[in-house]
Amino acid sequence: MNAPYDGDQGRGVGSSGHPESGGPEGSPPEHGQVPPQPPADMYLQDAYAQDPYRAQDLSAQDPVAEALYDRAAHPPPPPGTYQQQLYAQPPQSPYAPDPQVWAQTPPPEPEGPTRHLPYGDDARTTQFVGVDDLVSQAGEPRQEPDAFAHLFRDQQQSSGHPSYESPSVPGPSSAPGQMTQEHYAAQGSYTAGQYPSPGETAATPAVADPPAPEPPAAPAAKKGGRASGLMKSSAVMAAGTMVSRLTGFIRSALIVSAIGVGFLGDTFQVAYQLPTMLYILTVGGGLNSVFVPQLVRAMKDDEDGGEAYANRLLTLVMVALGALTALAIFGAPLLIRVMSPSIASDPAANQVAITFVQYFLPSIFFMGVHVVMGQILNARGKFGAMMWTPVLNNIVIIVTLGMFIYVYGTAADSKMGVTTIPPEGQRLLGVGVLLGLVVQALAMIPYLRETGFRLRLRFDWKGQGLGKAVTLAKWTVLFVLANQAGAMVVVWLSTAAGKASPVDGTGFSAYANAQLIWGLPQAIITVSLMAALLPRLSRSAAEGDGGAVRDDISQGLRNTAVAIVPIAFGFLSLGIPLCTLMFGSSGTSEATNMGFMLMAFGLGLIPYSVQYVVLRAFYAYEDTRTPFYNTVIVAAVNAGASAVCYFVIPSRWAVVGMAASYGLAYAIGVGVAWRRLRKRLGGDLDGARVLRTYARLCIASIPAALLSGAACYGIGHTLGQGVVGSLAAVLAGGVVLLGTFFVAARRMRIEELNSLVGMVRGRLGR
């Protein structure tokens, strides 16, 4: 059970993979009898065969940003009834060519995306965009199962090598040059006079001319089918995400350069994050987890393609967020007092914060409009707009900050604070940030028009299912409340510590920027790898296959650990040069303090990633209550440990302790979630194998981090902590870190790393 997925397990050489029937080969079953079926193999074609749950997106697991799988809408068939097996190959004639040697041509790709199947859930589509990279080529030696091969199946398809998931047996209509079982049964039936009687000599049979082969069908014109369209959409989305994060880092670096990381920087960060927190607390969580699934369902089922429902939802969100924005602007002083009492107690800082908040709060309205429009486009097969439009937001803010720096200079030169920032500067920053969100939302309208969607305000909400959907968001709203409550406590304490500290760069602004760098590997690596396993995980949970769920969770944990563990240790050695390289324009001392916070965050990346993977199992079982309770524990531990750091540790180092508390909270949360998941799966969670992998990766990472830190320290003292010295330290330290880790891990024969290296070598050698 713990071995990686191997579709050929138990198959002899040259066999077709199907059992031998006891009856005559090729004889059809009697009328009214169930046709003979091959034994069900829960790992054979388990993830991307025909999908009985097509009305929902199986990768929708996150309670805030993604929709949950609705099993109630698709009940399983009653027990004891016969149905065609969904996850096994159809019976194959014994005379058919071996699919391991003679790979079949894939079926024709479907046409472009339709509103009935916007996510490509059709079996003909998923075989092109699946994740199980099981290559079959004649004459090649059998390779060991590759723990990472499932991540690169799309590359395999584009290279022309067929996979086991490509149809290797004839379906409803036989491929040219192949015979069905009924054909061979007819050929093999006995005919009188076919053989000589006893005592007679058999006449030499006349050699008949071989039958002329069927003329091949005319090749169809090449068109971009839905599979290739989805692969292109995935590439567009990935590129948009990477560009958005890159421009986001530039934006954050310019904010630090313009206003610093002192008390003015803390004031700006509190005002900048307040609209996002209000949006998530009020509308954001429920909008993504409840209304979006119903939006997709309406687009599939309604006669108008869900246009009326989408316009009702958009109108409702606009009205609700418009009212919320007006109330928030009116209550801006109260919101500042709730968010940060230390800022509210300072008259100058309080006035600056209120000014910023009044400019920033209208962005709540445009956040909601952008999300609804983006989900409408996603349901219509347009995935790139929602990923690329945030780049426009970042560009507008970058231009605004560039103008601010051009007029007033950098924070290191202007020494600007809450008492010296001019009203014109506050207005420039406020209008620029708001304008970025406006451009981001309005940029969605041309894409909507391209799909034929007509924007109309509709106020006929009653009796349309919108009110009932609100009641479904109970646990999601509680989940968000618990998460934001813990974050708010950290904002209170970090701003207070930064105000009391005699050194700049020790408050909430430095905390937020260090956390931004720290969370990037999680967003790119863990989320991406789990996205490849989520469809199979969801299907296994829906079938009640606890063993398959266990294997998928184990594989996800071990695969992500190969990258997450050395990166977490890398933050210990590279934290200071990374921050001085990115935020050095605010001052070397301030950037160094941010580096200490990044180092404190470092090792917490390991439990943070584990928590994400483990909670996917609960979401696969449609259990949102357990993640809520787990989030309450994490938030409580984070808030309590941060309070201890604030009262016990000196103010200069208090926020560094809060950064370490973040990882401690997730470590405790992982322990609780692990026990509950183990109980859910009957006590078997492959814990020994997972712990052994993590322990060996940590052992390989320790000497790598020590040598890398020594290299960074030496270069920093030789070349200084400017741009040149920081860049040299990051490059040299990174090479030492990766090289040492690779050598140590290879000598320790860590299975997951060896599989990854073998896969990469195979790709490069093609």
Residue 548: predicted pLDDT: 85
pLDDT confidence of residue 151: 43
d(C-alpha 187, C-alpha 272), whole Å: 78
What does the pLDDT read at residue 681?
84
Return the pLDDT at 503: 86
> Which tokens sit at 203?
């006449």
Q: Which amino acid is at 37?
A: Q
Helix (H/G/I), strand (E/B), else coil: 135: strand
What are the start-end ranges of the E strands in 567-660?
none
The residue written with tokens 């009116």 in the block is 330
pLDDT of res. 471: 59
Q: Other CB atoms closer than 10 Å to residue 99's CB: what's the count?
A: 21
Which pair of structure tokens corresponds to residue 317?
A: 């969100």
Question: 681: which DSSP letter?
Answer: T
What pLDDT was estimated at residue 518?
92
Predicted pLDDT at 238? 60
CA pair distance 140, 475, nearest whole angstrom: 52
Q: Report pLDDT for 546.
A: 82
For residue range 516-530, list pLDDT tens digits in order: 899 888 887 887 777
pLDDT at 434: 94
Long-range contacts of 139-143 (CB under 8 A, 24+ apart): 143/758
**pLDDT value at position 123?**
36
Give residue 104's pLDDT: 52
As a whole number of angstroms, the distance between CA 487 and CA 565 comes to 25
Q: What is the C-alpha separation between 749 and 559, in angstroms, rounded?
A: 15
Q: CB-based burial of residue 41 (10 Å sphere; 0-12 exposed, 13-18 middle, 19+ buried)?
A: middle
Query: Quick one: pLDDT at residue 254?
Result: 92
DSSP letters of 464-511?
Answer: TTHHHHHHTTHHHHHHHHHHHHHHHHHHHHHHHHHHH-SSSS-SHHHH
Domain locations in the chain?
42-71+93-164
Which DSSP symbol is given to 281?
I
The residue type of 366 is F
Q: Which of 9, 145, 185, 162 is nearest to 100 (CA)?
A: 162
* Ranges of the chain with pLDDT below 50: 1-26, 29, 31-70, 86-88, 101, 103, 109, 112-210, 214-231, 766
Cα dihedral 381, 382, 386, 387 in deg (nearest 10): 100
Can you tell me whether residue 163 is helix, strand or coil?
strand
What are the angstrom distances between the C-alpha of 645 and each of 345, 373, 463?
Answer: 22, 43, 52
